[in-house]
Chain A
Amino acid sequence: TQLLEQSPQFLSIQEGENLTVYCNSSSVFSSLQWYRQEPGEGPVLLVTVVTGGEVKKLKRLTFQFGDARKDSSLHITAAQPGDTGLYLCAGARGSNYKLTFGKGTLLTVNP
């Protein structure tokens, strides 16, 4: 059972376009993280959201945690080729912090 559903699975856009990636679950998480992974490397944390309704901005990236803490979105404004990568959301539950990862969204930004 996949607890975290990410959509879309693949996304190919032109430089300058905006995009939104979604992460949905029927479960409640204590916090949710977004990672970016480049080929041949491990995931790198972008942001952690903890409070329902929370919005965090990281330059051109905007992250939102749903009010019920079951879903999240990542919005990129004016995408650049350097944004290309696999975006993973991960939900945390429990004191041992076992993260459940979504399958990821593979983003390609074409120049």
Chain B
Amino acid sequence: NAGVTQTPKFRVLKTGQSMTLLCAQDMNHEYMYWYRQDPGMGLRLIHYSVGEGTTAKGEVPDGYNVSRLKKQNFLLGLESAAPSQTSVYFCASRKGGSEEKLFFGSGTQLSVL
């Protein structure tokens, strides 16, 4: 199993451009999460999903949108990128129920100029 796969691994955007980050998991997990990691800030939850077709806001949702049309995929969109969105983005998934372990992807490093 590949686990959690994020694409792309690196991306450079200009201010105002849009892009979509893709997260795919092959473990049939119900829950999926998007985090951003910034120096000195730790991991902060952007959006999450508790199942196919559902999404919810996390701690820092402004400027981002998400979709979970298929159970295995969780997309994170930036409609109009800003320099403040320069960060490393991590996707994670969890089986659900009493299973507490989060599986993380290897991250996407995004720079907005």
Classify chain A: how many residues form its interface, as a range: 20 to 34
Q: Measured between alpha carbons, how far is A100 from B105 in the docked complex, in Å?
A: 18
Residues of the A chain whose Cβ atoms lie less than 8 Å from the Cβ of B50: 96
Contact B43 A101 (CB under 8 A): yes
Residues of the B chain whose Cβ atoms lie less than 8 Å from the Cβ of A41: 106-107
- Given A97-B31, A98-B48, A101-B42, A48:B90 Cβ within 8 A: no
Q: How far does the Cβ of A63 sit from chain B's closest Cβ, in whole Å? A: 14
Interface residues of B in 65-113 (CB under 8 A from A): 90, 92, 94, 100-102, 104-107
Contact B100 A42 (CB under 8 A): no
Contact B58 A103 (CB under 8 A): no
Quick check: is A28 within 8 A (CB to CB) of the other chain? no
- Chain B: interface secondary structure? strand
User: Of B56, B94, B104, which is within 8 A of A44 by CB?
Assistant: B104
Contact B48 A42 (CB under 8 A): no
Contact A104 B42 (CB under 8 A): yes
Residues of the A chain whose Cβ atoms lie less than 8 Å from the Cβ of B104: 42-44
A-B contact number at CB 8 A: 53
Q: How far does the Cβ of B23 sit from chain A's closest Cβ, in whole Å? A: 11
- Chain A: interface secondary structure? strand
In chain B, what residue has the closest Cβ to A2? B42
- Given A31-B100, A97-B31, A97-B100, A43:B48 Cβ within 8 A: no
Residues of the A chain whose Cβ atoms lie less than 8 Å from the Cβ of B41: 103
> Using a CB–CB distance below 8 Å, which chain B residues touch chain A?
4, 31, 33, 35, 40-45, 48, 50, 56, 58, 90, 92, 94, 100-102, 104-107
> Using a CB–CB distance below 8 Å, which chain A residues touch chain B?
2, 31, 33, 40-45, 48, 88, 90, 92, 96-104
A-B contacts, 8 listed (Cβ < 8 Å): A2-B42, A42-B105, A88-B42, A92-B100, A98-B33, A101-B43, A101-B44, A103-B40
